[in-house]
Amino acid sequence: MMIQEGIVIVGGGIAGLATALALKRVGFQARVLERNPELRAGGSALTLAPNAWFALRALGIDDKLKPLYQPIQESLVTNLDSGAIQEAKFAGTKDNRENAGVRSVHRKALLEALAEELAPDAIRFSSKLISIKSETLQDSSKVTVLHLDDGTVIQAKVVIGCDGVHSAVAQWLGLSQPLNSGRWAVRGLAVYPEGHGLDHGVKQYLSGGTRAGALTINSKEIYWFVVTYSSLERDISTNPELLLEEVPKNLAKGFPSQFLNVVKHTDRSSLSWVPLLFRAPWNIAFGNAYSGGVTVAGDAMHPMTPDLGQGGCSALEDAVVLARCVSQAHLTAATDRHWLEKALKRYVEARRWRVTWLVAGAWFAGWVQQGGGGGEEWWSVLARWFRDRFYYPFILPRTRNLIWRDSGDLILSDKRD
């Protein structure tokens, strides 16, 4: 079956749905291809910083989520090796509107809030992309042809790859494969039906080359993680019971009982064990992130480690900036047949350097916070010294402020006529 579409978005995660909604807000309809039979909610929760809330405000859904989640006011970092405790305040960011704040939200709630704003048929589920190629039509115009696993063939004027870390669209564009940071993360959602009774906030713990943390989402749920340089001796990632046993026995051995008690309350279905991947910053800065009517957004463009909490936030930024570029370029549509390609080029140029330094900054933040690997090599000793005396007290707060600021970029142009 052959289908012709204007704009096709590959992937129905945060980046894909946000991009579809942003385009809708400026008057363009997009078809989202999602390989799963329903909305995928991999990862139980994520933290949305002020820049993400600015993007959600531009998309018109921030007020749907803010009442459900209380802002986080502070983060406590405890060095278990030295006993030192560092406190960081999350005061949000000041602009000429309101304080956006930092909130941990359910990933599924964010996806549903985005999907609810789209047309009922905007998302095509069970649509797995198996190949992509460019073709020139008889009128000399170019289209991108997508072949799906069910035999469907789609001709699209524009294809936006939002298909995650291992993006087929990014590979087609020639972007490099993500690199392994050498670190792994186990994550889960602890559920307390009667309430956990803990203060709302973030608590992190450092020991050697391991970092763990717990973030309260509401009065009954806590999102937790352990990031380590240790890999499991055997693959038990698909066995939640064995994976959960590894946390107190190996991955977070000797960590505070309060944290390990949170782990005990984990909903087994929320557990995940994944390597922390990132794309080489120089490949983002100088690689080919667009070609004709094809580009990428979110993790497909800039996979990063979670150490600055900007993976989902930057994907929301991408959506707003891309839609704004398309809207602005449409003003020349009557006289320029290549206006869409120019819009994608402008989008990539607008995003390239910001996400490059986010990826590099996230990798550096992870390396420093986990003591350069936690060993006794000179670089590890230097990393811990730098972390405790300079990074946490001075550099991290200023880095957050730079990231979180509302520069005015996250505003959509008026809807086209």
Among the ranges given (52-56, 152-156, 244-248, 404-408), the one the predictor scored with the smallest mean pLDDT = 404-408
Write down the pLDDT at residue 40.
Answer: 80
What's the predicted TM-score (pTM) here? 0.95
The one-letter code for the residue type at 211 is: R
Q: Long-range contacts: 27-31, Cβ < 8 Å, 24+?
A: 27/327, 27/415, 27/416, 27/417, 28/323, 28/326, 28/327, 28/416, 29/119, 29/122, 30/6, 30/122, 30/160, 31/5, 31/7, 31/122, 31/124, 31/154, 31/156
Write down the pLDDT at residue 232.
Answer: 78
Q: Residue 62: which of 26, 30, 29, 109 has the closest Cα? A: 109
The one-letter code for the residue type at 353 is: W
Write down the pLDDT at residue 127.
Answer: 97
Rounded to an integer, the average pLDDT of 273-302 is 97
Give the model confidence (pLDDT) of 240-280 as tens digits: 999 999 999 999 999 999 999 999 999 999 999 999 999 99
Write down the pLDDT at residue 194.
Answer: 96
Query: What is the DSSP secondary structure assignment for residue 97, as one 8-state letter?
Result: S
Write down the pLDDT at residue 91.
Answer: 61
Determine contact, residues 102/71, Cβ cutoff 8 Å: yes
Rounded to an integer, the average pLDDT of 376-405 is 92
Write down the pLDDT at residue 409.
Answer: 66
Q: 413 pLDDT band (50/70/90 cuts)?
A: low
Q: Residue 352: which of 396, 265, 286, 255 has the closest Cα? A: 286
Give the model confidence (pLDDT) of 107-154 as tens digits: 999 999 999 999 999 999 999 999 999 998 777 778 999 999 999 999
Mean residue pLDDT across the chain: 92
Write down the pLDDT at residue 334.
Answer: 86
Write down the pLDDT at residue 93.
Answer: 47
Give the model confidence (pLDDT) of 165-177 as tens digits: 999 999 999 999 9
